[in-house]
Structure 1
Amino acid sequence: MTNKLRVYVIILSAIFIIYLINMIRKNKINLKYILSWISISTGILIIALFPSILNLFSNFLGVKDPMNALYFLGFIFLIIVVFSLTVAQSRLSDKVKSLSQEIALNNYEKKINNKSRDEI
């Protein structure tokens, strides 16, 4: 990685981390959904600051080119993010189903109560 590219990556990662922290501070997003993005951005920042870490990691994995190890890390992190979003979406889907059923029951009970009052 060239020094010019390292500077760009460091600046962009730092700006993105600051942006994420501001989103949390302004309550625009929940902390549990943003932790993975903060950890990924911090990891990118650390790798840009200390590129020898990527060389050590690629040697540990037995990968010749450190960039291939970086692509592997990115792929693993993306899989983790997609899985966590899938779990969150599944939970929200169950909650929507439960709330819809509860609203339908409440509306049905109101309708029955109104009919019984009209009969009296």
Structure 2
Amino acid sequence: MSSTLRLVLVIGSVLFFAFIINMVRTKKLELKYALIWIITSLSFVVMSVFPQTVFFISKILDVEVPANALFLCIIFLLLLMVFALTVAVSRQAGRIKRLVQEVGLLKADTEGKNKAPEK
């Protein structure tokens, strides 16, 4: 790997890490959702500073080309992220449904109390 490419990767990885930290700090991203991104950005920093890790991973996975091993790991990580976000969306959909039902019941209850019995 050329030194220019390593420098670009290190700078990009550090900027991505700083961006995620800034999003958490300004409360635009919750920490529980940012943890996977923080871990991902730190792994990018490690892989760009120490490219031997990519060769090590490719050797463990028995993949000839290290770039293919890297793509395999990234695809697996993205699948994990999508699954985690799908679980979070499903949970939120259930909560929203329950809240809508509660608001509907409360609204019906208050409208029933506001109507005076007609004689």
Q: Counterpart of 1:23? A: 23
Equivalent positions of 1:108-119 (< 5 A) are 108-115=108-115, 117-119=116-118
TM-score normalized with structure 2 length? 0.94
Q: Counterpart of 2:61? A: 61
Instruction: Find runs of 4+ consecutive structure 1 residues off by over 2 angstroms.
Output: 117-120
Give, in angstroms, the shift of residue 118 of structure 1: 4.5
Give, in angstroms, the shift of residue 27 of structure 1: 1.2
Q: Distance in 1 between matches of 2:6 and 2:23?
A: 26
Q: Counterpart of 1:93? A: 93
Q: Distance in 2 between matches of 1:4 and 1:17?
A: 20
Where does the alignment leave 5 or more consecutive residues of structure 1 unmatched?
none
SS in 2 for 1:119: coil
Q: Distance in 1 between matches of 2:77 and 2:51?
A: 19
The Cα RMSD (Å) is 1.2
Q: Distance in 1 between matches of 2:74 and 2:110?
A: 53
TM-score normalized with structure 1 length? 0.93
SS in 1 for 2:113: helix
Where does the alignment leave 5 or more consecutive residues of structure 2 unmatched?
none
Q: Distance in 1 between matches of 2:21 and 2:102?
A: 36
Q: Counterpart of 2:80? A: 80
**Structure 1 residues 49-93: Cα deviation after superposition (integer angstroms, max 9, x where no partner):** 111111111111111111110000100110011011101100110
Number of residue pairs matched? 119
Q: Distance in 1 between matches of 2:118 and 2:19?
A: 61
Q: Distance in 2 between matches of 1:48 and 1:55?
A: 12
Structure with more of its chain in helix, by fraction? 1
